[in-house]
Amino acid sequence: MSLELQRYTEPLEMDELIFLENKELKERGQYYKVFKWLMFLSFIFPFLSAWYRATEGAPNAFSLVRFFLSAGILLSISIIATYMSYRVYHRGIQLDLRTKTKTIERNRITRKLYIATKQAYYFYIDSAIKLSIEVSFSDYQFLKEGDEVSIEYATHSKFYLGYF
């Protein structure tokens, strides 16, 4: 069978769309928090290093040029790192919300696993997106290795939504 026949897209259901909207809002808030901390640290580190230089007896330890130059460099690094992280990891969720699609992929069960400490049942599948999925007890008993199971995930962010 070709890969084209095993993977197709469908519109997101309303509960999945709401879930992705909540996830996007939560992650955007986390990026804002991290960036605030990085901005704060970008100004604190040059200030602490000036005090360290002053205790060592360095002349002109509290240089404004040195302070603003090092704070600017740290702030630039923080801005670039936050933007790249936002662009790489968060853009997929935004594209999913814009296109409102999910991908459904059929996979073969390669291995079954029961973890007694968690009282959980898992299938290992041959998907590049998700290596294992947690399943119900009835599905664990009914399906065998080599059977097919379909998984759903958001098309762009590859966020796992469920199986059937």
* pLDDT tens-digit series, residues 109-130: 888 888 888 888 888 888 888 8
- Residue 35, amino acid: F
pLDDT on residue 91? 86
Beta partners for residue 152, in sequence order: 104, 162
Contact (Cβ atoms closer than 8 angstroms) between residue 11 and residue 99: no
What is the tally of helices (H) and strands (E) in the chain? 5, 6
Q: Which residue in 94, 107, 101, 106 sits closest to 10, CA to CA?
A: 101
- Strands (E) in the chain, as ranges, are 7-11, 101-115, 120-125, 132-135, 148-154, 160-163
Residue 4: band (very low, low, confident or very high) from pLDDT cuts 50, 70, 90: very low
Segment 52-65 mean pLDDT: 77
**Which tokens hold the place of 150?**
């379909």
pLDDT on residue 1? 45
- Residue 47, amino acid: F
Least confident of 24-28, 49-53, 96-100, 135-139: 49-53
Provide CATH code, domain 101-163. Answer: 2.40.50
In this structure, what are the phi and psi dihedrals at residue 121, rounded to the nearest 5 degrees? -115, 135
Per-residue pLDDT for 28 more than 80? yes
Q: Is residue 90 classed exposed, middle or buried when 0-12, 13-18 and 19+ CB atoms within 10 A define those classes?
A: middle
Per-residue pLDDT for 48 more than 80? yes
Per-residue pLDDT for 2 more than 70? no
Per-residue pLDDT for 84 more than 70? yes
Q: CA-CA distance, 116 to 38, in Å (whole number)?
A: 42
* pLDDT tens-digit series, residues 85-118: 888 888 888 888 888 888 888 888 888 888 888 8
pLDDT on residue 3? 47
* pLDDT tens-digit series, residues 152-163: 888 888 888 888
Q: Looking up tokens 């919300």, which residue turns up?
A: 97
Please give the share of the chain, as a percent, with pLDDT higher than 70.
Answer: 97
pLDDT on residue 162? 83
* Mean pLDDT (the chain, rounded): 85
Q: CA-CA distance, 127 to 129, in Å (whole number)?
A: 5
